[in-house]
């Protein structure tokens, strides 16, 4: 098996060997090519972009698509006019390959044909510099086959985007025997830095995610051929597991020819991968879109469900068994790239061992030859789903990897971090821990709404919900080994409450902190009304004023301001410098961990406000009154435990107010709340 990761799992820990690209070329202006180009311009507005195609009409269509994307982003307020001007400029659309000279990176996105791809790369190699990195967006063809024609194959590999490529964070990078590790590591860093969520995969046909998606679609088509269900019935059933069913996705991606090509290629591994005949005769499927449903009989639901889960588990377990990818990357990739609601191994866990075995036995009868799991049920369950763990000179670096939700916390994230602490806090070789967020923009954007709507109206259930969520925090309060928060971007709500429970906070200069809960009609109930005052406002009433404004009015503060008031101990210029600062801080705290101080805290007066505001949003007076009372009582409490209990009970009281119902409802409906009282 190929060793996929030689360095760190977190792509941004170390500085890369090369700078960000100044010039990127995309060969192939049809299909996914324009979206790849727009991804680069949107992420790096000043980059020079060249589109090359042999068809003028494709180039014109690409230009129209780019312009339409920019226009839409402007109309939705998602792009400034200044950025729009940069994104739209410095782009060349040409049939002349010589225009790619001087490119730092060339991405090929032509039709899925080996000979054509090889011809493209032979032309490209004759023009570009020796240091130029070459990548193919192929969805199935191994890099070893494509790049065997190159004189310098070591600077080339596959970079597989997923539609829509400008927005979908999924990306597979193949590791093959001739590519230089420096190239793989650079691409792994680059795409994460630009907002993607790359995974490294072995150089086999279809890698991982194409194998999953293409065979998911192929088995759906076989169900259709067999008369088990219609396309709309299959897509209806599939939406239990994915945002959109296979036939709907095939329609928007014009994916039928791709399934044919990739599955014909995969037939090298067996006849069972032969594409369904119906793909050759249908151009568009009659089906339902996301959220759309038709009536499906229970018997049909069972048959479709068993088949779809069977092929999902077949492909994912085989990828683990063959070492095509790491199990956590497969789980992660299915969610971020393929829009599964939960990862395949989490679905497996929820079904349980007996049901998993039944489904796979059924699948073996219906689809003889398709891969079956080679290990027992538990083998596919023992891994962290939401965190990455790296070892840095005796320190465990914990990366919260949920970039698709800005690294939001949930019960399982907390449980995984707690499990790691318990495993290593007694290990003498481990000096301490660092917690950081995945990617360049978010430490953690808060806590998932999760089951909170279920406890609205029930004060005791809501308070208990906060207590249970705090299990990790309680443990951190008692730890003897240092835990440092490395805040790499926004730290909001529950994410900020995690950071303030760490023994020290270091942050990048562009990070920011906020308790936005009051804008949802609730309050920061797992430490936000307690810990900042005890840690940083003791004997400093002016600092307590800052925390009053943060909790009551959702005021955001910058890392620079947090540093001035002592909340942040060190500032860093970039992600690698941040990790270095965190590492140094852990070592400084060895044997000198400072617990959250006990005893009452004298705070600034909490003045009543007739019309509390967060920006232009009118807040709930009732919620503000509960917050003020809780802050006062918690500050007067003798112990941290008593203060936190006051906070939990306040959370319970707020959960019974109309404001909480309105705030949560508005959040789920993606609208601005209207608080009446």
Catalytic residues: 497, 517
The pair of structure tokens assigned to 592 is: 């000198």
Question: What is the crossing angle of helices 658-668 and 621-636, to 10°?
Answer: 110
Reported residue count of the chain is: 677
Cβ neighbours of 607 (radius 10 Å)? 8
* Cis before 164? omega within 30: yes
546 contacts 671 by C-beta, under 8 angstroms: no
Q: How far apart are CA 584 and CA 563, in angstroms?
A: 17
Locate the DSSP E strands across 521-675: 557-558, 570-572, 613-614, 617-618
CB neighbourhood size of 378 (10 A): 9
Tokens coding 394? 């005796």
Helix (H) or strand (E) holding 293: none
Q: Is 443 helix (H, G, I), strand (E, B) or coil?
A: strand
CB 567 within 8 A of CB 532: yes
Structure tokens at 536: 């940083």
CA–CA separation, 145 vs 143, rounded Å? 5
Q: Of 33, 418, 312, 337, which is closest to residue 171 (Cα–Cα)?
A: 337
Residue with token string 């807040």: 619
Backbone phi, psi, residue 172, to 5°: -110, 135
Determine the Cα–Cα distance for residues 501 and 520; give it in Å rounded to an integer.
Answer: 23
- Residue 556 token pair: 């955001």
CB 275 within 8 Å of CB 218: yes
**Beta-sheet pairing, 617-618 with 613-614:** antiparallel
SS3 for 598-614 is CCCCCCCCCCCCCCCEE
Distance (Å, whole) CA 157 – CA 179: 7
Residue pair 52/99 in contact by the 8 Å Cβ criterion:
yes
Taking the mean position of all CA atoms in its chain, how far away is CA 416? 17
| CA angle centred on 201, ends 373 and 148, rounded to 5° | 120
Rounded CA-CA distance 81/74 in Å is 7
Integer Cα distance of 157 and 302 in angstroms: 41
Q: How far apart are CA 651 and CA 520, in angstroms?
A: 12
| One-character DSSP codes across 331-391 | HHHHHHTT-BSS-HHHHHHHH-HHHHHHHHHHHHHHSTTS---SS-GGGGT-S-SSEEEEE
3-state secondary structure of 591: coil
Strands 512-514 and 617-618: unpaired
Give me 359's structure tokens: 């489904």
- Positions of E strands within 417-553: 432-437, 442-444, 483-487, 490-492, 504-508, 512-514
Q: How far apart are the first and last CA of the chain?
A: 63
Over its C-alpha atoms, the chain yields an Rg (Å, rounded) of 27
Closest C-alpha among 545, 537, 446, 531 to residue 491: 446
């Amino acid at each position: 098996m190929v060793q996929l990761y030689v360095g760190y799992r977190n792509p941004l820990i170390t500085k890369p060997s090369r700078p960000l690209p100044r010039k990127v070329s995309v060969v192939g202006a049809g299909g996914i090519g324009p979206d790849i180009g727009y991804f680069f311009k949107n992420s790096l507005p000043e980059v020079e972009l060249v589109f090359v195609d042999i068809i003028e009409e494709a180039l014109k269509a690409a230009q129209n698509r780019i312009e339409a994307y920019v226009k839409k982003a402007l109309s939705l307020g998602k792009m400034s006019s200044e950025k729009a001007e940069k994104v739209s400029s410095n782009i060349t659309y040409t049939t002349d390959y010589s225009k790619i000279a001087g490119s730092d990176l060339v991405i090929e996105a032509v039709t899925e044909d080996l000979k054509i791809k090889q011809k493209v790369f032979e032309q490209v190699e004759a023009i570009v510099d020796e240091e130029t990195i070459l990548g193919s967006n192929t969805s199935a063809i191994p890099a070893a086959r494509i790049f065997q024609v190159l004189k310098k194959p070591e600077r080339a590999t596959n970079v597989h985007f997923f539609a829509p490529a400008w927005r979908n964070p999924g990306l597979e990078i193949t590791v093959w025997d001739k590519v230089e590790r420096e190239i793989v590591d650079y691409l792994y860093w680059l795409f994460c830095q630009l907002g993607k969520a790359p995974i490294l995969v072995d150089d086999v046909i279809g890698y991982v995610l194409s194998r999953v998606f293409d065979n998911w679609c192929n088995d759906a088509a076989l169900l259709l051929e067999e008369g088990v269900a219609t396309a709309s019935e299959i897509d209806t059933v599939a939406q239990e597991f994915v945002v959109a069913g296979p036939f709907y996705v095939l329609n928007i991606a014009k994916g039928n020819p791709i399934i044919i090509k990739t599955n014909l290629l995969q037939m090298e591994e067996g006849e069972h991968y032969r594409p369904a005949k119906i793909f050759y005769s249908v151009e568009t499927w009659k089906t339902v879109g996301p959220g759309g449903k038709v009536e499906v009989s229970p018997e049909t639901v069972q048959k479709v469900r068993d088949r779809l889960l069977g092929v999902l588990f077949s492909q994912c377990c085989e990828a683990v068994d063959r070492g095509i990818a790491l199990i956590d990357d497969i789980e992660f990739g299915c969610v971020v790239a393929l829009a599964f609601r939960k990862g395949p191994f989490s679905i497996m866990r929820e079904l349980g061992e007996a049901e998993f075995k039944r489904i796979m036995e059924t699948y073996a009868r219906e689809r003889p030859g398709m891969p079956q799991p080679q290990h027992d049920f538990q083998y596919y369950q023992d891994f962290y789903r939401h965190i990455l763990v790296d070892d840095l000179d005796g320190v465990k670096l914990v990366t919260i990897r949920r970039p698709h939700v800005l690294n939001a916390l949930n019960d399982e994230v907390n449980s995984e971090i707690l499990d790691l602490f318990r495993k290593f806090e007694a290990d003498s070789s481990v000096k301490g821990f660092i917690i950081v967020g995945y990617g360049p923009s978010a430490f953690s954007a808060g806590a998932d709404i999760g089951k909170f709507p279920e406890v609205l109206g029930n004060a005791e259930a809501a308070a208990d919900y906060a207590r249970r969520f705090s299990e990790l925090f309680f443990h951190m309060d008692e730890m003897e080994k240092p835990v440092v928060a490395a805040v790499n971007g926004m730290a909001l709500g529950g994410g900020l409450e995690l950071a303030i429970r760490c023994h020290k906070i270091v942050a990048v200069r562009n990070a920011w902190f906020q308790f936005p809960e009051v804008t949802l009609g609730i309050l920061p109930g797992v430490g936000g009304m307690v810990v900042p005052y005890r840690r940083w406002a003791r004997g400093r009433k002016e600092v307590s004023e800052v925390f009053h404004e943060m909790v009551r009015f959702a005021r955001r503060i910058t890392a620079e301001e947090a540093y001035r008031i002592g909340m942040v101990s060190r500032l860093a210029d970039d992600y690698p410098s941040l990790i270095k600062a965190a590492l140094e801080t852990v070592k400084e705290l060895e044997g000198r961990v400072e617990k959250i101080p006990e005893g009452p805290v004298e705070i600034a007066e909490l003045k009543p406000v007739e019309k509390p505001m967060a920006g232009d949003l009118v807040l709930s007076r009732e919620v503000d009154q509960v917050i003020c009372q809780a802050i006062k009582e918690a500050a007067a409490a003798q112990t941290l435990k008593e203060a936190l209990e006051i906070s939990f009970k306040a959370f319970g009281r707020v959960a019974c107010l109309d404001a909480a119902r309105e705030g949560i409802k508005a959040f789920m409906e993606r609208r601005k709340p209207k608080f009446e009282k």
